[in-house]
Amino acid sequence: MTVSSTSHQQEQGRFITVMKDILARPSGRIGLTLVLFHILLALLSPLIAPYDFKLQNSSLMLSPPSSEHWLGADHLGRDILSRTLMGGREALLVTGIATPLAVIWGGFIGILFGLVGGRVDEVLMRVVDAFLSLPWILKMLVLIVTFGTGIGVLIPTLTFFYGIPVIRVARAATHDIIARDFVWAAKARGHSRISIIWRELLPNVLDTLMVEGAMRWSWMLLAFSSLSFLGFGVSPPTPDWGLMISDARGFMSFAPWGVIAPVIGLSSLIIGINLSADALAKALGIDRAQKAPM
Amino acid sequence: MPQSLFIDIKNLSVGYTSRSGKTIPVLRDVNLSITRGDSIGLVGESGSGKSTLALAAMGYFKRGLHVISGQVQFDGIDMLNIERNALQRLRGGRLALIPQNSGQSLTPNLRIGQQIIEALRLHSDLPATGFDAGVIDLLSQVRLPDPIGLTDRYPHELSGGQQQRVAIAMALASDPEALLLDEPTTGLDVTTQAHIMELLRDLAKDRNLAMLYVSHDLGAIARVCNKVMVMYAGETVLTGSAKQVLLSPRHPYAHGLLASIPRLNEASLPQALDGRPPMPSETITGCAFADRCKLADQTCHSSPPQLNHLETGEAVRCFHHDQIGQLNRKPEKSARSNPVVADKDIALSLANLAVSYSRPGLLSKLFTPQDTPPSTVDRITIDIKKGETLGLVGESGSGKSTILKTIAGMVPAQSGNIILNQTEPLDTMVEKRPAAYLRQVQIIFQNPDDSLNPRHTVAQILAQPLRLYYGLSGTPLRDRSIAILEQVRLGEHYLERLPSQLSGGEKQRVAIARAFAADPEIILCDEVTSALDVSVQAAVLDLLDVLKRQDGTTYIFVSHDLAVVKAISDRVAVLYQGRICEIGPVAAVYSAPFHPYTDALLGAVLEPDPDVAPRLTADDAVELSPPKTGCPFQRRCPRKLGSICETNIPTAQEIAPGHIIHCHIPQVDL
């Protein structure tokens, strides 16, 4: 048995306790169920969707829910149930990749700023602040208009923009840790900066980063859907909740089912993520003051 | 005249419900009664339930705790079944609490006057017009200088001792009949503590208070209490008058506790109390102390002892209280063998070291270049020989920790040199020091909760220096880690634990092990025992002493506790405001002639002996920065000569070989 395996056991033990704690909370149970449900749906929806999502049927245009089409049809006569079931796939894929990437780069830079400290840190953080003060949708639209849409642009864009608030959080968490004696002890022993980040700081900032990541995920989903809503996200005919809401909102007064179904899809996923993040934060003992996405 | 019981706690058991649904008691069948004019000291290690009991006297229980059985009465009022509003009027009214960290219990953005007025408005029948006079009256009662000026100040503008006095003033606002004190002087300097104790003692007498004083500090208890109750694992094990309990304890635990306190009049290390108290969740069949008791026999392990009321007025929970004489008060523990260091080489030289924390801005550099504040630490010149232990002692703000951090390269020196092994001076920043030197100087911090990474197992903690300095990995790393753990008397099974799974003493052992893993020449000890219980402190001091004798390591030992420094050091430097007042061999510094500051410090030490009163010479005002010229101690010195003390730096007077006092007073008068 080597040293690393003993620490591995401790980590495993901690993972199990945290999971148990999350599942012991109603918010954790409901949240995780919702998230898992959506992930499963995204994987299996091509198999279970009753109709082809592209299939247009002019005789069904804006038809209300019926026994054949449970949630009715949209303005092109496409089955809303099938489109709603598949409407989260793109969003989950893009945000599922971009969230961890954003947390990794933002977290690393934030810890580094926190460790370096002093004037460099101050100046760079003011740049970050200035950046954060611009409306996010504006910043993203500039990039997307310049480079075009599609997953290849959306993932780097979201990763970049959502990593920046992570810098703030990681830096603040690092500042709390850096003044503690075990970091002083490591410095006094003469460890390298990388070793201090990796061994002393990261393990203690990781909890905060995980909760932050979960929060960023739900923000990012909302951003992705907003971009789709504005026509910069998923291109038709691929089904997407944001796009569906955008398409159906013109007919909302006489065919509200076209909006209701994707709204329920999107909000249940975001609520699920937020509840899970909440339970995770409580299980890890982190006081979370951040607000839910608005 | 027999007085009626004022606070009366009968057969109180308090517990919490564990996750598995079991009720786990933290207080078991405790009786406590206090009459007016009585002050009772509540003593025990952390986790013994003493704070829980004190809070129970106000009918308060921390979250998760509930009463299992028993009753709590205050002047005949049932505190456990009292209406909420009435209880609130009592608390802070007739019954006041002074908590441990009063600086933190004051509202930071309210002026002192306003805070006390609030207490007066809520808890006294003073008319609103009388508030201002009431505030001044209270502040003078707690002997704060310039009460009128003080009302306009904010809490952060006061020193720790002054904040504590304000908290006492607020508690007195309601003219309480009973005071509960929960470690009120922990964290304060010795001189401040001694002054606060005198204040409390006088207040209790003048106002005929019923006082319950919770502390782990037996010296403080000895000063203010007339009765003492010793608690162990949630039970009362011994009660009696302060003299009985502190001078001839009839319970083995109390005996061990007293033996573990380092004392100024003893040259040897205190005796450690082995083992640790049982956790509340452990089932105890016999006496809770049996596992750590030298008198324990079969009966002690099988059946629980009852509280015996003796004719002398004491009550003791022990089968063998009549054999207590067998426990030698002064066991044959040889006086610490001071290694002969006279002919050894110099391990570390500090040459005219100065440290300044002030970083003048560009503007002040340009316009007032002459107006730089005096250095935090200045004129430190000490040679430390190999295998020697140098104690650095002084109040908070005396620069002792700063000196350690400068040696470790964590705080840059302003001027002066740090020379290791008589080679060329070390760079002042740790990043620029050669790797070979880094290994030779290791540091142990005050609080192991803070100095051990909470996410690392003991194995990972020990691996850090072993990997860095020796490149060990795999089996050799593990073998070496186990060997080091055994040196600090911890077993192999500790390797997989996280710091949160260790007790305070075990954590500090791991921190010591980590320092020794580097096999250093010099270990810097920064208040290494002050976060520990006394019994654990004795064990840690003993361990440090043993390791030093094995490896011939040089220690620089920083502490505010004069008795601890005396017990472990060969040579002592007394510091005030970052300047050396007196330096010399332990025996010389701790006996006359003294520097006036050393005299003030030694006089203020509270001994766990009710017959010994402290001598208070200097007042306890706290200075934020050293004076620009002259003697650092000039503003507080009770023996100040005159203007020479304000203008001239005192010269070093060599009283005896190696014993140097920096003072203007001629040697014969010291």
CB contact under 8 A, A3 and B481: yes
CA distance B646 to B665: 13
Task: Please choose, from the candidates B80, B84, B87, the residue with its C-alpha nearest in 3D space to the C-alpha of residue B10.
Answer: B80
CB contact under 8 A, A7 and B430: no
Task: Judge whether residue A111 has pLDDT over 90.
Answer: yes
Chain A touched by B522 (CB under 8 Å): no
Q: What is the mean pLDDT of residues B397-411?
A: 87
What is chain B's mean pLDDT, rounded?
A: 85
Task: Please choose, from the candidates B513, B467, B462, the residue with its C-alpha nearest in 3D space to the C-alpha of residue B490.
Answer: B513
Chain B residues with CB under 8 Å of A6 CB are: 457, 459, 495-496
CB contact under 8 A, A182 and B447: no
Strand partners, B34: B7
Task: Judge whether residue B514 has pLDDT over 90.
Answer: yes
Identity of the amino acid at B67:
V
Inter-CA distances, B590 with B326, B569, B570, B594, B605, Å: 32, 12, 12, 8, 12
Which tokens belong to A247? Answer: 């398409």
Q: Are B490 and A34 in contact (CB under 8 A)?
A: no
Q: Please give the radius of gyration of chain A, using alpha carbons only, rounded to the nearest integer.
A: 22
Q: Residue A10: what pLDDT?
A: 62
Q: Residue A135: what pLDDT?
A: 85
Q: What is the mean pLDDT of residues B55-62?
A: 86
If you classify domain B349-669 with CATH, what class do you get? Answer: alpha beta
**Considering the domain B7-264 in this protein, what is its CATH number?**
3.40.50.300
| Residue B446 or B327, more confident | B446
Chain B residues with CB under 8 Å of A203 CB are: 453, 455-456
Task: Please report the residues numbered 329 through 368 in chain B whose beta carbons come closer than 8 angstroms to any beta carbon of chain A.
Answer: none
Chain B touched by A9 (CB under 8 Å): yes
For A185, which of B409, B445, B478 is closest by C-beta distance? B445
CB contact under 8 A, A199 and B456: yes
CB contact under 8 A, B409 and A188: yes
Task: Judge whether residue B461 has pLDDT over 80.
Answer: yes
Inter-CA distances, B230 with B9, B53, B253, B280, Å: 16, 12, 9, 17
CB contact under 8 A, B460 and A3: yes
Inter-CA distances, B452 with A87, A177, A182, B407, Å: 49, 12, 5, 21
Which tokens belong to B194? Answer: 């001694």
Q: Are A28 and A36 in contact (CB under 8 A)?
A: no
The 3-state secondary structure of B415-442 reads EEEEEECCCCECCCCHHHCCHHHHHHEE
Lowest mean pLDDT among A167-181, B227-241, B418-432: B418-432
Task: Judge whether residue B341 has pLDDT over 70.
Answer: no
| Residue B157 or B56, more confident | B56
Chain B residues with CB under 8 Å of A195 CB are: 468
Sorting pLDDT into bands at 50, 70 and 90, what band is B297? Answer: confident
Nearest residue in A to B463, CA atom: A3
Q: Residue B512: what pLDDT?
A: 93
To the nearest whole angstrom, how far is the Cα of A139 from the nearest Cα of chain B? Answer: 38
- Note the Cα B327 to chain centre separation in Å: 27
Start-to-end CA span in chain A (Å)? 50
Chain B residues with CB under 8 Å of A2 CB are: 474-475, 478
Q: Are B177 and B90 in contact (CB under 8 A)?
A: no
Which tokens belong to B336? Answer: 């610490």
To the nearest whole angstrom, how far is the Cα of A97 from the nearest Cα of chain B? Answer: 28
CB contact under 8 A, B447 and A3: no
CA distance B235 to B225: 20
Task: Judge whether residue A3 has pLDDT over 60.
Answer: no
CB contact under 8 A, B452 and A182: yes
Q: Residue A5: what pLDDT?
A: 46
Task: Please choose, from the candidates A132, A38, A141, the residue with its C-alpha nearest in 3D space to the C-alpha of residue A89.
Answer: A38
| Residue B614 or B354, more confident | B354
User: Domain limits of chain B?
Assistant: 7-264, 349-669
Nearest residue in A to B481, CA atom: A3
Q: What is the mean pLDDT of residues B402-415?
A: 87
Sorting pLDDT into bands at 50, 70 and 90, what band is B624? Answer: low
Sorting pLDDT into bands at 50, 70 and 90, what band is B278? Answer: confident
Q: Residue A294: what pLDDT?
A: 32
Task: Judge whether residue B242 has pLDDT over 50.
Answer: yes
Three-class DSSP category at A223: helix
Q: Are B395 and B191 in contact (CB under 8 A)?
A: yes
Three-class DSSP category at A11: helix
Task: Judge whether residue B203 has pLDDT over 70.
Answer: yes
CA distance B648 to B631: 7
Sorting pLDDT into bands at 50, 70 and 90, what band is B621? Answer: low
For B459, which of A7, A187, A200 is closest by C-beta distance? A7
Q: Are B355 and B377 in contact (CB under 8 A)?
A: yes
Q: Residue B558: what pLDDT?
A: 93
Q: What is the mean pLDDT of residues B465-492?
A: 90
Mean pLDDT: which of A104-108, B219-223, B318-322, B419-423 is highest? A104-108
Chain B residues with CB under 8 Å of A115 CB are: none
Task: Please report the residues numbered 398 through 417 in chain B whose beta carbons come closer than 8 angstroms to any beta carbon of chain A.
Answer: 408-410
For A10, which of B443, B445, B496 is closest by C-beta distance? B496
| Residue B279 or B463, more confident | B463
CA distance A95 to A220: 6
Three-class DSSP category at B154: coil
Strand partners, B235: B232
Chain A residues with CB under 8 Å of B478 CB are: 1-3
The 3-state secondary structure of B53-108 reads HHHHCCCCCCCCEEEEEEEEEECCEECCCCCHHHHHHHECCCEEEECCCHHHHCCC
Task: Judge whether residue A36 has pLDDT over 90.
Answer: yes
**Structural domains of chain A, with CATH:** 32-41+73-284 (1.10.3720.10)
Helices (H), B125-240: 131-141, 147-150, 160-172, 190-207, 218-224
For B450, which of A6, A10, A182 is closest by C-beta distance? A182
Q: What is the mean pLDDT of residues B210-217?
A: 89
Q: Residue B3: what pLDDT?
A: 55
Chain A touched by B481 (CB under 8 Å): yes
CB neighbours of B79 closer than 8 A, spacing ≥ 6? B57, B58, B59, B72, B73, B87, B90
CB contact under 8 A, B475 and A181: no
Sorting pLDDT into bands at 50, 70 and 90, what band is B466? Answer: very high
Task: Please report the residues numbered 486 through 515 in chain B whose beta carbons come closer than 8 angstroms to any beta carbon of chain A.
Answer: 495-496, 498, 514
Q: What is the mean pLDDT of residues B25-53?
A: 88
Core vs surface per residue B414-453: b (16+ CB within 10 A) or e: bebebbbeeeeebebebeebeeebbbbbbbbbbbbbbbbb
Task: Please choose, from the candidates B477, B472, B466, B508, the residue with its C-alpha nearest in 3D space to the C-alpha of residue B490.
Answer: B508
Report CA dihedral (B405, B408, B413, B417) to the nearest 10 degrees: 130
Task: Judge whether residue A2 has pLDDT over 50.
Answer: no
pLDDT in tens, B162-179: 888 888 888 888 888 899
Report CA dihedral (B640, B646, B647, B653) to the nearest 10 degrees: 40
| Domain pair B7-264 / B349-669, same fold | yes
ipTM for the whole complex: 0.76
CB contact under 8 A, B468 and A191: yes
Task: Judge whether residue B100 has pLDDT over 50.
Answer: yes
Q: What is the mean pLDDT of residues B513-542?
A: 88
Q: Residue A234: what pLDDT?
A: 77
For A190, which of B435, B457, B477 is closest by C-beta distance? B435
Task: Please choose, from the candidates B377, B338, B381, B333, the residue with its C-alpha nearest in 3D space to the C-alpha of residue B358.
Answer: B377
Chain A residues with CB under 8 Å of B474 CB are: 2
Sorting pLDDT into bands at 50, 70 and 90, what band is B399? Answer: confident
Strand partners, B23: B17
Which tokens belong to B143? Answer: 């002997």
Q: Are B391 and B403 in contact (CB under 8 A)?
A: no
Task: Please choose, from the candidates B550, B562, B606, the residue with its C-alpha nearest in 3D space to the C-alpha of residue B213.
Answer: B606
Task: Judge whether residue A39 has pLDDT over 80.
Answer: yes
Question: Which of A6, A11, A174, A189 should one mutate to test binding to chain B, selecting the residue with the greatest count of B CBs within 10 A?
Answer: A189
The secondary element (H helix, E strand) that includes residue B213 is: strand B210-214
Which tokens belong to B364? Answer: 């002040």
| Residue A10 or B333, more confident | A10
Q: Residue B362: what pLDDT?
A: 65
Q: Is the four-CA dihedral B655, B656, B657, B658 of positive or negative sign?
A: negative
Chain B residues with CB under 8 Å of A7 CB are: 456-457, 459-460
pLDDT in tens, B101-155: 776 788 888 888 998 998 888 888 888 888 888 899 888 888 787 888 888 888 8
Task: Judge whether residue A133 has pLDDT over 60.
Answer: yes
Chain B touched by A193 (CB under 8 Å): no
Question: Which of B442, B443, B453 should one mutate to test binding to chain A, selecting the residue with the greatest count of A CBs within 10 A?
Answer: B453
Chain B touched by A191 (CB under 8 Å): yes
CB contact under 8 A, B442 and A199: no
Q: Are B132 and B192 in contact (CB under 8 A)?
A: no
Longest alpha-carbon distance in chain A:
78
pLDDT in tens, B223-236: 899 999 999 988 99
Which tokens belong to A118? Answer: 């002093």
Chain B touched by A8 (CB under 8 Å): no
Core vs surface per residue B318-328: b (16+ CB within 10 A) or e: bbbbeebeebe
Task: Judge whether residue B573 has pLDDT over 90.
Answer: yes
To the nearest whole angstrom, how far is the Cα of A113 from the nearest Cα of chain B? Answer: 18
